[in-house]
């Protein structure tokens, strides 16, 4: 699956599994979300194959009850949750489960949290390359 990631990091080369605040990169299939610069000026394509969905996480929890003992505030799906510290902690925990299960990404509210994939620089958000990509893939 081809998705897009915006960042202020002009030197992004790869996804390092499990590292960083979220253990991956947030991406969207909608490149137009990168146009306003809210998430950064540098746009990357991020390609990945497999997706960890809610049922995969539920099955993981059934097979690993100690996980919930260690993380009593864990929620499988944050669609309706308030965006607070627990919300962001849960995003990283879901990413770590996806890594353990061998998936490339976990579904998030409005996109994907990619933990394994191919990262390629597309351009500055105002570049001709990005504008063309928006026109062709809106």
Nearest Cα neighbor of 46 from 32, 56, 33, 31 is: 31
For 74, the token pair is 């864990």
Neighbours of 43 (CB within 10 A): 25
The pTM for the full model equals 0.90
Per-residue confidence in pLDDT tens, the chain, 138 aa = 999 999 999 999 999 888 888 889 999 999 998 889 999 999 999 999 999 999 999 999 999 999 999 999 888 776 666 667 777 888 899 999 999 999 999 988 778 999 999 999 999 999 999 999 999 987
Place of tokens 């299939």: 29
- Tokens 């390092």 -> residue: 16
- Indicate the number of domains in the chain: 1
Task: Give the C-alpha separation, 41 to 49, whole Å.
Answer: 26
Residue 59 structural domain: 2-137
């Amino acid at each position: 699956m081809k998705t897009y990631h915006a960042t202020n990091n002009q030197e992004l080369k790869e996804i390092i599994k499990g590292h960083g605040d979220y253990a991956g990169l947030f991406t969207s299939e909608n490149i137009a979300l990168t146009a306003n610069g809210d998430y950064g000026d540098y746009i990357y394509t991020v390609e990945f194959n497999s997706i960890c969905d809610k049922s995969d996480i539920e099955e993981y929890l059934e097979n690993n009850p100690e996980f919930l003992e260690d993380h009593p505030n864990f929620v499988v799906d944050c669609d309706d949750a308030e965006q607070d510290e627990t919300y962001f902690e849960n995003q990283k925990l879901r990413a770590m489960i996806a890594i353990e299960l061998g998936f490339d990404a976990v579904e998030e509210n409005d996109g994907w949290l990619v933990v394994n994939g191919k990262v390629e620089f597309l351009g500055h958000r105002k570049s001709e390359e990005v504008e063309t990509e928006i026109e062709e893939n809106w």
